[in-house]
């Protein structure tokens, strides 16, 4: 067993509880800022820490949107909302997601996505190739007459590292790796409509960031800002609203220093990911610890 198995299990339990709470809520009329702060506060109250800013991605935005510090975007009747939650306990991360649907025309997207995840979890164990998990996801989604998002994937997870270098595709691919004993993986199908592109592209908004290197830029104020970011977030992703609230930086000043660090490739910005034909997207996700007899689904 992993030396940190208890921390992964605890993180997974917290993530599952918060996800299921979110699944049952009626968020129409609520702002994305209210939802983010509510779910992140719940994570902390349960004894975990957010492993990344809560992702709240509406409709054709597949992933990577989190609320701005003054975000007034509201969930509307007719929307579908992806809620992607990360929890860490001592750096041991559980990653899970659910799509809540306020539009009956897209309920099949959610059903197909959840079904594809269940089928993928049945085969995900030590020795299975990631490409074969992708094949199961692809076949399940296509059986509904829908499309998987082919350039989004699940991923390996390591302590304090949410994307640890290995990808679990949502389609069958040539070339792959086999799941290894006690490694941690997130499996996350993304599904769009039959007339969708099936590919996501970078949007023009980036409001999630992470530190790539601690190299100094030679500007005392910016270097001190970077050190404050490192002391608070280490290698984990963070949001501008966290900088403002937790580190007490003024919004525009923080933005300007982030821009310097991004330009110098010291901080990475994660753009929102938008479906190529602007069609709606659903997501479902669990985190597993790979085992030979059947993996442990820590976010079950």
Catalytic residues: 84, 95, 155, 163, 188, 285
The tokens for 98 are 């659910």
For residue 62, which phi and psi values (nearest 5 degrees)? -80, -35
The C-alpha R_g of the chain, in whole angstroms, comes to 19
Write b or e for each residue in 125-161: b if 16 or more Cβ atoms lie within 10 A of its Cβ, otherwise e.
Answer: bbebbbbbbbbbbbebbbebebbbbbbbbbbbbbbbb
């Amino acid at each position: 067993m992993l030396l940190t198995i208890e921390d992964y299990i605890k993180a997974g339990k917290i993530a599952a509880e918060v996800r299921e709470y979110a699944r049952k809520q009626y968020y129409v009329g609520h702002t994305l800022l209210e939802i983010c702060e509510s779910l992140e506060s719940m994570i902390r109250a349960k004894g975990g820490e957010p492993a990344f800013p809560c992702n709240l991605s509406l409709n054709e935005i597949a992933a990577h949107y989190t609320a701005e510090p003054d975000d007034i975007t509201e969930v509307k009747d007719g929307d579908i909302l992806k809620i992607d939650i990360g929890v860490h306990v001592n750096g041991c991360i559980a990653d899970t997601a659910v799509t809540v649907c306020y539009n009956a025309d897209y309920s099949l997207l959610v059903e197909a996505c959840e079904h594809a995840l269940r089928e993928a979890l049945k085969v995900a164990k030590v020795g299975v190739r990631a490409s074969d998990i992708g094949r199961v996801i692809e076949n399940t989604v296509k059986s509904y007459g829908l499309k998987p998002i082919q350039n989004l994937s699940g991923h390996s997870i390591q302590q304090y590292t949410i994307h640890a270098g290995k990808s679990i595709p949502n389609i069958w691919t040539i070339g792959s790796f086999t799941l290894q004993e006690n490694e941690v993986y997130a499996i996350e199908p993304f599904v769009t409509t039959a007339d969708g592109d099936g590919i996501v592209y970078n949007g023009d908004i980036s409001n999630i960031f992470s530190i790539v290197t601690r190299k100094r830029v030679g500007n005392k104020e910016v270097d001190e800002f970077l050190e404050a970011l490192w002391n608070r977030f280490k290698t984990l992703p963070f949001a501008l609203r966290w900088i403002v609230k937790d580190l007490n930086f003024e919004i525009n000043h923080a933005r300007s220093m982030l821009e310097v660090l991004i330009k110098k490739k010291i901080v990475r910005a994660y753009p929102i990911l938008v479906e190529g034909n602007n069609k709606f997207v659903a997501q479902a996700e669990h985190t597993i610890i790979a085992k030979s007899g059947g993996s442990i689904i820590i976010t079950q």
